[in-house]
Amino acid sequence: MTMSNVNALLVEAEALTMPKKFEIDLKDVSDVDTATIALIFEWLRNAHAQKCKVVFSNFPANLISLATLYGVIELIPQTAH
């Protein structure tokens, strides 16, 4: 989930019909950058516009560090697994 593939992920996500509530599991994400944070917030905006609740799980350590650095970790709904 980096600058090189974030646009493709966004297009794929926009094509999906969102259920009322869903979880995005990030356990297999290894590469992150600032585009990852932007993508997460775009997913949150899209979910809100469709009146859906989205939560994220299994944040990799590097994503936690980046979101903490930018001061947005508290704004990202997460589940504990």
Give yes or no for a contact between 52 and 21, defined as CB atoms under 8 angstroms apart.
yes
How far, in Å, CA of 6 to CA of 49, rounded? 20
Name the phi and psi angles at 22, rounded to 5: -155, 165
**What structural domains and CATH numbers belong to the chain?**
6-75 (3.30.750.24)
* Residue ranges in the chain modelled with pLDDT below 50: none
pTM of the shown model: 0.80
